[in-house]
C-alpha cells in the first residue's frame, strides 16, 4: 500500500470539517456547539414534554458532532505542526492502516488501550 498522502488527508479532513459545521448549523448550533437561536420545536405549549425530549436529543447530537469536530481540528493542527501520525502519548509512529481507518487518531493502539482501562 502506498504511504499516506498528507495533502489528500488534509483535504479529506477539511471536507469533513465543513460537513460537520454544516450539520451543526442545521441543528441551530455554531462552531462551539452553542445554540445560535431559538429553534422551532413545534407547539411547546401543547406538548412541552415532547419538545424538551427533542431538545435533549438534539443537544446530544450536537455534543457528538462537537467531539468529532474537535478530533478533526486536532488532526488538522497536527498536520500543520508536522506531528500527524505520531502517537501523542509515546511519540511512536502510529501504524498507517490505523490512520487510514481513522484519520483523526492521535494515539497508537497500545496507548489507546492503556488509556481506556
Ligand atoms: Zn503510543
DSSP string, 56-107: HHHHHHHHHHHHHHHHHHHHHHHHHTT-TTB-TTT-PBPPHHHHHH-TT--S
> According to the model, what pLDDT value does residue 110 have?
93
- Report the separation in Å between the CA atom of 111 and the middle of ligand 1, taken as the mean of its atom positions: 4
Confidence (pLDDT) at 60: 95
* Segments of the chain with pLDDT less than 70: 1, 37-46, 116-117
Q: Ligand 1 centroid to 116 CA: how many Å? A: 13
Ion ligand 1 neighbours, Cβ < 5 Å: 87, 89-90, 108, 111
Identify which of 51, 65, 13, 59 has the alpha carbon closest to the alpha carbon of residue 35: 59
Q: Rounded to the nearest 10 degrees, how much is the dihedral formed by the CA atoms of 76, 82, 88, 91?
A: 160
Task: Give the distance (Å) from ligand 1 centre to CA of residue 97.
Answer: 15
pLDDT of residue 82: 95
pLDDT of residue 86: 96
Confidence at residue 65, expressed as pLDDT on a 0 to 100 scale: 96
Amino acid at each position: 500500500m502506498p504511504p499516506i498522502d498528507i495533502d489528500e488527508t488534509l483535504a479529506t479532513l477539511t471536507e469533513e470539517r465543513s460537513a460537520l459545521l454544516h450539520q451543526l448549523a442545521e441543528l441551530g448550533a455554531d462552531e462551539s456547539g452553542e445554540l445560535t437561536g431559538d429553534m422551532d420545536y413545534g407547539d411547546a405549549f401543547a406538548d412541552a414534554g415532547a419538545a424538551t425530549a427533542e431538545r435533549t436529543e438534539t443537544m446530544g447530537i450536537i455534543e457528538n458532532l462537537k467531539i468529532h469536530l474537535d478530533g478533526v481540528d486536532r488532526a488538522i493542527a497536527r498536520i500543520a505542526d508536522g506531528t500527524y501520525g505520531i502517537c501523542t502519548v509515546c511519540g511512536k509512529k502510529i501504524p498507517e492502516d490505523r490512520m487510514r481507518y481513522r484519520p483523526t487518531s492521535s494515539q497508537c493502539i497500545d496507548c489507546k488501550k492503556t488509556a481506556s482501562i
